Amino acid sequence: MPVNSEDSTFAAGQKGIYSLAVRRDADTAPVADGKFMGLVMDDEGRLKTSNKTASFPVTAGAVNTVGATLTVDVRRASNVVFHVKNTGTAAMAAGQFSFEASLDSTDGTNGTWFSMQAIRSNANTIETGTGTLAIAIGAGLVYSWEASVNAYQFARVRCTTAVTTNAVATWIAQRGSYATEPIPAAQSHAVTLSGSSNAVNNTPVVGINTNLAGVVTAATTNAILVKTGSTALYELTLSNVTATPAFFKVYNKSSAPTVGTDVPMATFPIPANTTVVYEFGPVGKRFTTGFAVSVTGAAAANDATAAVAGIQLSATYN
C-alpha cells in the first residue's frame, strides 16, 4: 500500500485504512484527560467537532420534593426550554418550582444559585417561578418556559413546594445552541409621558395625555371617564399579574359609568397571570360621546362585582 505525504496528489484506485467513529449521545468525553480517543459522532451521525454548534440530548427527571432539582449544563447553550408532565397516579393540585442559574457551579450542585427569568411559550409572561401547578394524570402542562442562558454555567428547575402525593412532576429540559434572544417579552424601552397624573388612596391611578391612559385597578369596579367627546381607541394592553381573572369594559359616555346599570359597548376578558393585547387597526374603535371604562369581577353587562386590585391596564387613543 502506498504511503502519501502531506500535499500529495490523489489518484484513483489508491487504497487506505478504513476509519471508524463511535456514536456517543452524551455530551461528555468517553476517556480521561490525556488519553487517546477515537472520533466521536452524535445521534445525527455527524462528527462532534468545533465547527458544528453543540447538539444536546434531552434531560428529564422527576422533581417532587422541596429542594429537588433538574439541572443542565448550559456552558455551550444559548437558550433552554423547560416543560413538565404529571407522570404519577394522582392529579397534581400542588407543587411550585423556581428557575435558577449559576455562574460558579462546577458540577451542577455546588456554587451560588440565583433566580432566572423565563417566558411562557403561550403568552408574553415573564416569570422566575411557576406558581402552583394543576396537571391531570398523564397530561403535560399546556405551555413551556424558555430562558436565555448565555454566559451561565448551569441552569436548573428547583422544587419550592412539594407536589401532590402520588403525582409525579417529570420535568424535561432541552438546550438550544442557536441564539434566538433577546426573548421578545424581555425587550423594553423608555417611554416619556406628558401631561398630569393623579393618585388618591384606594382609587385607580390614572395618567392621561393626548393619546395614552394608564390604570392600576383598585378593589372596586374602577369606573373612570378617560375622555369626553369623540374618541378613537386603537389599542388595549391588559396585564393581570394576579391569580384572579377580571373583565375590562368600555362605554360610550361623557361621564364615569354607572357600573351595573350602564351597558358597555364591549367587554374584554383579562385572564389570571396573563397579558393580552387588543388592537383595533388604523381607524380604531369609535366612541361618539366619550370614552369611559370599568373593571369588574364578572363578564355580565350588569355585573357590579369589584375587581381584584393590582391589574395593570393601558389604552392608546385620541
Q: Domains of the chain by range and CATH? A: 59-184 (2.60.120), 203-317 (2.60.290)
Q: How confident is the model at residue 71 (pLDDT cuts 50, 70, 90)?
A: very high
pLDDT at 244 over 60: yes
pLDDT at 10 over 90: no
Q: Are 142 and 125 in contact (CB under 8 A)?
A: no
Q: What is the pLDDT of residue 201?
A: 42
- pLDDT, tens only, 281-305: 888 899 999 999 999 999 999 999 9
Q: What is the mean pLDDT of residues 35-46?
A: 83
pTM of the model: 0.49
A 10 A CB-CB count for 108 gives 17
Q: What is the pLDDT of residue 199?
A: 46
Q: What is the mean pLDDT of residues 193-211?
A: 46
Q: Which range scores top for mean pLDDT: 105-109, 180-184, 185-189, 214-218?
A: 105-109
Q: What is the pLDDT of residue 56?
A: 84
Q: What is the mean pLDDT of residues 132-136?
A: 96
Average pLDDT, the chain: 87
Distance between CA atoms of residues 132 and 147, nearest Å: 19
Look-up: residue for cell 484513483?
Answer: 12
| Local structure of 236: helix, strand or coil | strand
Q: Are 265 and 252 in contact (CB under 8 A)?
A: yes
Distance between CA atoms of residues 49 and 54, nearest Å: 9
Cis peptide before 182 (omega within 30 of 0): yes
Q: What is the pLDDT of residue 51?
A: 56
Tell me phi and psi for residue 97, to 5 degrees.
-140, 150
Least confident range of 89-98, 136-145, 177-186, 234-243: 177-186
Q: What is the mean pLDDT of residues 112-132?
A: 93
Q: What is the mean pLDDT of residues 87-91?
A: 97
Q: How confident is the model at residue 40 (pLDDT cuts 50, 70, 90)?
A: confident
Q: What is the pLDDT of residue 210?
A: 45
Distance between CA atoms of residues 154 and 152, nearest Å: 6
Amino acid at 69: T
Q: Which residues pair with 237 in a beta bridge?
A: 277, 314
The two beta strands, 113-115 and 205-208, are unpaired
Q: How confident is the model at residue 34 (pLDDT cuts 50, 70, 90)?
A: confident
Q: What is the mean pLDDT of residues 140-144?
A: 96
Q: What is the pLDDT of residue 2?
A: 66
